[in-house]
Amino acid sequence: MSYKRSSINRPPTPDVDKDRENQEPTLQEIINIKMIETGEKERLKELLREKLIECGWRDEMKALCRAYTRKKGKNNVTVDDLVHVITPKGRASIPDSVKAELLQRIRSFLASTAT
Amino acid sequence: MSSKINHHQKINGQNFPQPCPHLADFRARHGSKPFRAIQECLRVKPPGGRAAIRRDPSEVPRCGACGDASRPRLYACMACAAVSCHAPPHSSHVAMHATSTCNPPGHEIAVDVDRAELFCCACRDQVYDCDFDAAVVLAHTTSIIQSSKPENLRKRRRIDYRPWSPDLRERALMVSNASPIDSSSATNGDLPRGLRGLNNLGNTCFMNSVLQALFHTPPLRNYFLSDRHNRYYCQSKNGVKMCLACDMDAMFSAVFSGDRTPYSPAKFLHSWWQHAANLASYEQQDAHEFFISMLDGIHEKVEKDQRKPRNQGNGDCCIAHRVFSGILRSDVMCMACGFTSTTYDPCVDFSLDLEPNQGGSTKTASTKSNHSCNGEADSMNSSQNYGTSTLMGCLDRFTRAERLGSDQKFFCQQCQVRQESLKQMSIRKLPLVSCFHIKRFEHSSVRKMSRKVDRYLQFPFSLDMAPYLSSSILRGRFGNRIFPFDGAESDALNEPSSEFELFAVVTHTGKLDAGHYVTYLRLSNQWYKCDDAWITQVNESIVRAAQGYMMFYVQKMFYYRASERQVTS
């Protein structure tokens, strides 16, 4: 892959080191599991979904996918192609206000569970 | 069973591709059993949310190879249930799992654990299977689908169209029994036939405006002009008594006679007063109320005459309901247990709330671009008119899932108590003619007063109703599934199209208690303003700028654009 942009190849969270598998889970993992267990992750996803629809981000992505599919011909496109092509654009065009709101929600969740 | 999935399938109006060789191979090897077995692992949480795959409700799925639980795409193998991540081009443990030499072939098909969608690791693409999708839809709810099943089975056969022209005997009958319209009077002026002013009989513009729209409602006009309700015959059979359809017949004859002098619908007004005694006065009335009441009047008469149980929404009733009635579907889902109760209600129009003033919020922009099919309005204003209410916006609100909060709890049949619930409306069956009534008259129970909302509403000349149909709404709820939602299969046969054309707009100017109704008619793509006795040709920009109160759209196949001229001349 000659086309490298940090945003595509960046995994959402750092990989767990293979040799640390038997050790204690990382803080990030603990938070993730806590969020799943309490249902907060599901709520956050729903909130994010709503916000992205509201600000027109989803429609924008839909249009990009459509344009790409039209260009390539609908029988020559796979979901993986689309994810690969659209992900960097999608990450880059999320409005800062949405990011800020989500971060705020995660912070307040952490604060409420830490006590 | 397996042969069934081999054709190109058309469900919910969409073409689904043939299964990929790996899916076909998987089905040949395992049959449909794995897809049904997955039903036990399908969790929909919270009710109304998305379907996910979990072996037990508290499972935190993680990739078997790297142990990561936070990957965005985690797949469970349909053959051995191993969970792996997929993050190309970085790493794809699911692809490794599929091609691993330790496994026998047949591990290519996997299911996305958070989305409950099938994926083929060899094709790197989403795949569709009807048994799997049926299991997902079933997990969402058991009640919805079964309630509409019996109806799906009934498929009506279409009758081929054959052009008709009178033979010699019929021609002779027509000549001896009809009084042909003097062709010289028809060519008087350039106005199309049927445009005739209506005199105001004392604050009756509410009636005139609706009547003008009805005179030019294609299926209604064709019904009366082809003598399907003959007033002489009706009266000789039933005796002389009040019959709104007879008065309609008389008015249609008068309006289409070619005479251009304004007509006074006094007889009709008198009959309507008898029908709706509470509205019989020379006061101003609501045009929409009149519309409902007069359709009722026509319907009631037929009901009395024929004494057959009639199913209003099914289109085998009186002319009023055959033209205007559709079926609304309403789903109420309990937020505690997910049980959904579905009801179907006939309707003769769609009463829509105006969107609350949004003053530049981005909300309307997103709802607008949702419907690229309704392109006319779309391309024009997505940039310049932020915050302008549109008819599509109103329809979006109308079909949006609405949370019924703690103050309006709904009785859940399964929980046997009142619960918070989610309500969503959609259109099960479209009428031939859709009348949209915009609720411009607002009653505030708090301030104990009513007021009129003067806000501008943009309406397209061509409207696609597909996004508001039950099949589309349910698809939005369950995802893209190979599953006939809400009898979509039979609908595709019965309903030729969801495309509509605007042909009349009833507008209101003035205040709540004193105002004036004017109708704009679109005939052969030219607009005419009908203001009581006066009829004038107007530019379409005037119509676009008008404050619509009732909008009449007809199914596109009934809207005659250019051919109408030839017929009348």
Question: Mean per-residue pLDDT for B522-543?
Answer: 91
> Hey, are the CB atoms on B68 and A16 less than 8 Å from each other?
yes
Angle at A79 between CA B18 and CA B23, to 5 degrees: 35
> Hey, are the CB atoms on A12 and B72 less than 8 Å from each other?
yes
DSSP string, B225-270: HTTSS-HHHHHHHH-S---HHHHHHHHHHHHTTS--S-B--HHHHH
Q: How confident is the model at residue B565 (pLDDT cuts 50, 70, 90)?
A: very low
- Alpha carbons B86 and A11: distance in angstroms, whole number: 11
| Residues of chain A contacting residue B89, judged by C-beta atoms under 8 Å apart | 1, 8-9, 84
| Residues of chain B contacting residue A29, judged by C-beta atoms under 8 Å apart | 69-70
Of A12, A42, A53, the CB nearest to B70: A12
> Hey, are the CB atoms on A79 and B58 less than 8 Å from each other?
no
B46: three-class secondary structure by DSSP: coil
What residues in chain A have their Cβ under 8 A from chain B's Cβ atoms?
1, 8-9, 11-13, 15-16, 18, 21, 28-29, 32-33, 36-37, 39, 42, 46, 53-56, 58-59, 63, 78-81, 83-84
Shortest distance, CA A115 to any CA of chain B (angstroms): 23
Angle at B219 between CA B566 and CA B435, to 5 degrees: 120
Q: B15: which residues sit within 8 A by CB, 6+ positions away?
A: B8, B9
What are the pLDDT digits (tens) for B105-119?
788 889 998 888 889
Cβ contacts below 8 Å, chain A against chain B, sum to: 67
| Residues of chain A contacting residue B370, judged by C-beta atoms under 8 Å apart | 59
In contact, B317 and B401? CB cutoff 8 Å? no
Q: What is the pLDDT of residue B6?
A: 39
Q: How confident is the model at residue B5 (pLDDT cuts 50, 70, 90)?
A: very low
- B4 against B43, higher pLDDT: B43
Of A13, A56, A58, the CB nearest to B365: A56
Question: Whose CA is closest to B550, among B282, B82, B210?
Answer: B210
- Give the best-scoring range by mean pLDDT among B174-188, B335-349, B479-493: B335-349
Angle at B45 between CA B42 and CA B49, to 5 degrees: 100
Q: What is the pLDDT of residue B31?
A: 83
- Alpha carbons B170 and B168: distance in angstroms, whole number: 5
| Residues of chain A contacting residue B367, judged by C-beta atoms under 8 Å apart | none
- Alpha carbons A104 and A91: distance in angstroms, whole number: 19
Of B67, B90, B370, the CB nearest to A59: B370
Say which range, A16-25, B143-152, B234-243, B278-287, has the weakest mean pLDDT: B143-152
What are the pLDDT digits (tens) for B361-375?
333 333 433 444 454
Question: Mean per-residue pLDDT for B439-460?
Answer: 81
Per-residue pLDDT of chain A (115 residues; tens, 9 = 90+): 444 454 455 455 544 444 445 567 788 888 888 888 888 888 898 899 889 988 989 989 999 999 999 999 888 888 889 999 999 999 999 999 999 999 999 999 988 887 6
The alpha helices in A1-115, defined as continuous H runs, are 6-9, 27-38, 40-54, 57-72, 79-92, 96-114
- Alpha carbons A55 and B529: distance in angstroms, whole number: 39
Q: What Rg value do the Cα atoms of chain B yield, rounded? A: 29
Question: Mean per-residue pLDDT for B537-544?
Answer: 93
| Residues of chain A contacting residue B90, judged by C-beta atoms under 8 Å apart | 9, 11
Question: Mean per-residue pLDDT for B79-107?
Answer: 81
Cβ count within 10 A of residue B419: 21
- Alpha carbons B420 and B336: distance in angstroms, whole number: 7
Model confidence, pTM: 0.71
Shortest distance, CA B543 to any CA of chain A (angstroms): 30
In contact, B504 and B522? CB cutoff 8 Å? yes
Q: What is the pLDDT of residue B472?
A: 84
Q: B475: which residues sit within 8 A by CB, 6+ positions away?
A: B12, B481, B485
Cβ count within 10 A of residue B363: 19
Question: Buried b vs exposed e over B380-389: b needs ≥16 C-beta within 10 Å?
Answer: eebeebbebb
B243 φ, ψ to 5°? -145, 110
In contact, B148 and B343? CB cutoff 8 Å? no
Handedness of CA A78, A84, A89, A91 (dihedral sign): positive
| Residues of chain A contacting residue B123, judged by C-beta atoms under 8 Å apart | 78
- B88 against B240, higher pLDDT: B88
SS (H, E, C) B140-188: HCCHHHHHHHHHHHCCCCCCCCCCCCCCHHHHHHHHHHCCCCCHHHHCC
- Catalytic residues of B, which ones? 205, 516
| Portion of chain B with pLDDT greater than 70, in percent | 77
> Hey, are the CB atoms on A84 and B68 less than 8 Å from each other?
no
Token pair 């009178």 in the structure block, residue: B166
Say which range, B2-16, B70-84, B285-299, B444-458, has the weakest mean pLDDT: B2-16
Q: Which residue of B has its CA nearest to A32?
A: B70
Does position B77 have pLDDT exceeding 60, yes or no?
A: yes
- Alpha carbons B504 and B216: distance in angstroms, whole number: 8
Query: What is the rounded average pLDDT for all residues in chain B?
Result: 78
Question: Whose CA is closest to B271, among B320, B329, B207, B363?
Answer: B207
Q: How confident is the model at residue B506 (pLDDT cuts 50, 70, 90)?
A: very high
> Hey, are the CB atoms on B88 and A56 less than 8 Å from each other?
no
- Alpha carbons B567 and B569: distance in angstroms, whole number: 6
| Portion of chain B with pLDDT greater than 90, in percent | 22
Q: How confident is the model at residue B414 (pLDDT cuts 50, 70, 90)?
A: confident
- Alpha carbons A56 and B363: distance in angstroms, whole number: 8
- Alpha carbons B340 and B327: distance in angstroms, whole number: 18
| B68 close contact with A: CB closer than 8 A | yes
List the structure tokens of B89: 């081009």
Report which residue type is found at B412: C
Rounded-to-10 torsion of CA A50, A57, A41, B417: 20
- Alpha carbons B440 and B547: distance in angstroms, whole number: 10
- Alpha carbons B178 and B569: distance in angstroms, whole number: 18
In contact, B412 and B421? CB cutoff 8 Å? yes
Does position B1 have pLDDT exceeding 80, yes or no?
A: no
- Alpha carbons B504 and A115: distance in angstroms, whole number: 64
Q: What is the pLDDT of residue A100?
A: 94
The alpha helices in B276-362, defined as continuous H runs, are 287-306, 319-324
> Hey, are the CB atoms on B88 and A80 less than 8 Å from each other?
yes
Say which range, B107-121, B170-184, B211-225, has the weakest mean pLDDT: B170-184
- Alpha carbons B485 and B146: distance in angstroms, whole number: 11
Of A1, A63, A80, the CB nearest to B124: A80
B77 φ, ψ to 5°? -65, 135
| B375 close contact with A: CB closer than 8 A | no
ipTM computed for the complex: 0.72
- Cα distances from B428 to residues B345, B374, B402, in angstroms, run 9, 20, 18
B387: three-class secondary structure by DSSP: coil
In contact, B410 and B402? CB cutoff 8 Å? no
> Hey, are the CB atoms on A33 and B60 less than 8 Å from each other?
yes
Q: What is the pLDDT of residue A91?
A: 92
List the structure tokens of B547: 């404050």
Q: What is the pLDDT of residue B503?
A: 94
- B170 against B550, higher pLDDT: B550
